[in-house]
Amino acid sequence: MAPTSEGGAEALLPDLPKGPLQAYRSRASFCWKELALFLEGEDVLRLKKTIFSTLENDPLFAHSHGEELCLEKCRELSFLRCLRLLELSFLSMEDMVASPLLVQTLIACLGMYDWSLGIKFLLHMLTFGSAIYSSGSKRHLKYLPKIFNMEIFGCFAVTELSHGSNAKAVRTTAHYDPTTEEFIIHTPDFEAAKFWVGNMGKTATHAVVFAQLYTPGGQCHGLHSFVVQIRDPKTLLPMPGVMVGDMGKKLGLNGVDSGFAMFHKVRIPRQDLLNRTGDVTPEGTYVTPFKDDKQRFGASLGTLSFGRVAIVGMSIVNLKLAVSIALRFSATRCQFGPTDGEEVPVLEYQMQQWRLLPYLAAIYALDHFSKSLFLDLAELQQGLAGTDHSARQAELGREIHALASAGKPLASWTAQRGIQECREACGGHGYLAVNRLGDLRNDNDPNCTYEGDNNVLLQQTSSYLLSLLARHVQGGARIESPLRTVDFLEAYPDILGRRFTCPSVDGCLDSAVPLAAYEWLVCYLLRESHQKLTQEKRSGSNDFEARNNSQVATSLVSELVK
């Protein structure tokens, strides 16, 4: 570390206040400031400091401990805070593109403060904003400044009452009318109402709406996204033909106004089709640069991965908060001891260490994974923006999709279980609302569900691995990927031949030992799944049945992540 940067870091990392944790802290065998600097880097630390000190000094962000807020008030407050965030503009569009890790830091800081705010902001700026940016074209750039100055407020509407995981089957329609050059957005019935859409409940003025695109003559071209105005930005009253409302109380994230909407023949200009993957000419002809639906879908995988990769980071923030609370409590909470007069901190108990320290270790491992995946994704997206259509780019898209589809379950489940363990590790005091473990559990929970239910996502990773194996077995294709995460599978017959030989418990502490065991297990389960699937197909099951009858076997492959 250069001395100047250390000097700078010193100011960024003031000494911790003296207190009951001092005894443990003084026993550390390393300098925590150096570690923080090594893990985060100065830019990230500086941004964190800017954000936290700004929020601390603005009364709008004062936490109202004790005071109870009703649902309406929670949502109003999150909205006002979101507005203020946009005024504060911690990162410009240029910063975001130049330093993806700063984007991750911003989300993390907002989440540490309050996930309702973090997610409201994320949905508007990044989900809504980047849907327009990455699925639209030049004609949609006009929306971007309006997003930054909050002239419009956005949401992202895929899910319907009856279709979540099976998003491709949503039933909202967009019929093109060449006489007026408009699309007619329509909800055929209540089950096709848009549902669960964050920001839609009370505050969004615009939605990116996914609908089945029909051209004159009645041909359906599959799912496309459209920018639809749903409210008047001045009055927040719904636009004509739009029935929109709030879904009510959720288990957590109650500052986010999740909403539903039904469209009654709402007309929007032709230009508001986000046309990166397909467009309709003024006369009503469908045009697309892609050969088929599958290729078109492949091109959109990068966009899909963003949310999942973000959730990996968000889940880790939750685990960090929970583990910090539980460890600090355990270091100061005394209970029992060698004699009646002398009690020891519960952290001294072997059980308490056994329960908490593996989660502390998981944080470091997952944090590293999360950052590197975020950077890989940024690389992918920059390629997409530069319209890189190379084979490597396509392969990278698939690999990141597979990593994100297993990484999101890994991180969100680890966090969910870890938070529960931390809650219990704090005994009764962990059950008091003010100690936040309940909010963390409730706010982390949907990370297991949105952007793809964990159990459904795992199957995507399994499919990826199985298809690599199938191509290898059938055509002798090499198993390799741009980020090299699957390259070890190339040696899978050798790996399967390996035997566990480590003679002692101490020997197992060498990380090569569990790694080898892990490789063996992946190969073993992969082979089992492959055989099960092949056998099912041979015995006459159709594709759907075969996949279903092998679901547990194939999911186990990715469940390894658990």
Ligand X SMILES: Cc1cc2nc3c(=O)[nH]c(=O)nc-3n(C[C@H](O)[C@H](O)[C@H](O)COP(=O)(O)OP(=O)(O)OC[C@H]3O[C@@H](n4cnc5c(N)ncnc54)[C@H](O)[C@@H]3O)c2cc1C
Which residue among 137, 449, 485, 534 contacts its own copies (CB under 8 A)? Answer: 449
The residue count for binding ligand X (CB under 6 A) is 33
HEC profile of 297-330: HHHCHHHHHHHHHHHHHHHHHHHHHHHHHHHHHH
Kindly tell me which of 30 and 544 has the beta carbon lying closer to its own copies. Answer: 544
197 binds, among its own copies, ligand X, none (CB under 5 to 8 A by kind): ligand X
* 198 in contact with ligand X (CB under 6 A): yes
Q: Tokens 């505050």 appear where?
A: 203
Catalytic residue status for 528:
no
477 binds, among its own copies, ligand X, none (CB under 5 to 8 A by kind): none
Q: Kindly list the distances between the CA atom of residue 441 and the CA atoms of 121, 417, 438, 561, in Å, as whole numbers in the listed order.
A: 20, 9, 5, 20
* Alpha-carbon dihedral sign for residues 105, 109, 110, 112: positive
Which residue among 453, 480, 490, 528 contacts ligand X (CB under 6 A)? Answer: 453
Residue 334 backbone phi and psi in degrees, to 5: -100, 140
Interface pattern 7-46 for its own copies (x via CB under 8 A): ----------------------------------------
* Total length of the chain: 562
545 binds, among its own copies, ligand X, none (CB under 5 to 8 A by kind): its own copies
The string of DSSP codes covering 211-244 is EEEEETTTEEEEEEEEEEE-B-TTT-PBPTTEEE
Interface pattern 251-280 for ligand X (x via CB under 6 A): --x----x----------------------
Q: Kindly list the distances between the CA atom of residue 500 and the CA atoms of 504, 516, 521, in Å, as whole numbers in the listed order.
A: 11, 9, 11
We find the least distance from the C-beta atom of residue 456 to its own copies, in angstroms, to be: 9
The reply, when asked if residue 159 is annotated as ligand binding, is yes
Kindly tell me which of 49 and 163 has the beta carbon lying closer to its own copies. Answer: 163
If you ran DSSP here, which 8-state letter would residue 290 be given?
Answer: S
Long-range own/partner contacts, residues 395-398 (CB < 8 A, 24 or more apart): 395/481, 395/482, 396/481, 396/482, 396/483, 397/298, 397/299, 397/301, 397/302, 397/305, 398/298, 398/301, 398/464, 398/481
Which residue among 85, 131, 230, 346 contacts ligand X (CB under 6 A)? Answer: 346
Paired strand residues for 258: 198
Of the residues 399, 451, 519, 559, only one is catalytic, namely 451
441-478 residues labelled b (16+ CB within 10 A) or e (exposed):
bbbbbbbbebbbebeebbbbbbbbbbebbeeeeeeeee
Kindly tell me which of 7 and 338 has the beta carbon lying closer to its own copies. Answer: 338
Which residue among 143, 176, 195, 359 contacts its own copies (CB under 8 A)? Answer: 195
Kindly tell me which of 31 and 344 has the beta carbon lying closer to ligand X. Answer: 344
Environment class of residue 72 by beta-carbon count within 10 Å: exposed (0-12), middle (13-18) or buried (19+)? exposed
For residue 484 the two structure tokens come to 């090299």
Which residue among 22, 165, 324, 467 contacts ligand X (CB under 6 A)? Answer: 165
For residue 553 the two structure tokens come to 């076997």
* 518 in contact with ligand X (CB under 6 A): no
The residues binding its own copies (CB under 8 A) are 66, 68, 70-71, 159, 162-166, 169, 195-196, 247-252, 334-338, 340, 343, 348-351, 354-355, 416, 420, 423-424, 427-428, 430-434, 437-438, 441-442, 445-446, 448-450, 453-455, 459, 542-545, 548-552, 555
The residues binding ligand X (CB under 6 A) are 123, 156-159, 164-165, 196-198, 250, 253, 258, 333, 335-336, 346, 349, 351-352, 424-425, 427-429, 431, 446, 449-450, 452-453, 455-456
- Annotated catalytic residues are 451
